[in-house]
Amino acid sequence: MDYKKVKTDTTAVTRNKNDFYEQTGNIYETVVVLAKRANQIGLEIKEELNKKIAEFASPTDNLEEIFENREQIEIAKYYEHLPKPTLIAIHEFLNEQIYFRNPEKEEKK
């Protein structure tokens, strides 16, 4: 997924807490859903970054070459400007783009 195309805030903003009750009915359950999704997004971004940086790695790099590698610097800048995984998760949650279920609630029914 291209997280640069996600139209969300890049900084934390004040939100209405009632928006987080609507889907789950419980703020704590919402926090768990958001945390798990943010972890998933963070891992995806990290794997993507590692793949791109691995293309430039060579076993014979000396210290000067490492600091002067422009391609790696540009890749790092790109990932620094992405929205944080928690902000992406909140955006997805509020726009009902996250599928989640609670097995404990399903057992009680």
How far apart are alpha carbons 24 and 56 in whole angstroms?
A: 44
Residue 1 forms part of a structural domain: no
φ and ψ at residue 59, rounded to 5 degrees: -70, -15
Residue 52 forms part of a structural domain: yes
Residues 34-87: tens digit of each pLDDT: 999 999 999 999 998 888 888 776 666 565 555 667 777 888 888 888 888 999
Integer CA distances (angstroms), 83 to 1, 4, 62, 91, in order: 13, 8, 33, 10
Residue 7 forms part of a structural domain: no
- Which residues have CB under 8 Å from 23's CB, separation 6+? 30, 93, 96
The pTM is what? 0.78
Number of structural domains the chain divides into: 1
Residues 3-27: tens digit of each pLDDT: 666 777 777 788 888 999 888 888 9
Residue 45 forms part of a structural domain: yes
Residue 20 forms part of a structural domain: yes
| Selection from 37, 12, 40 nearest residue 95 by Cα | 37
Q: Which domain holds residue 26?
A: 14-108
Residue 6 forms part of a structural domain: no
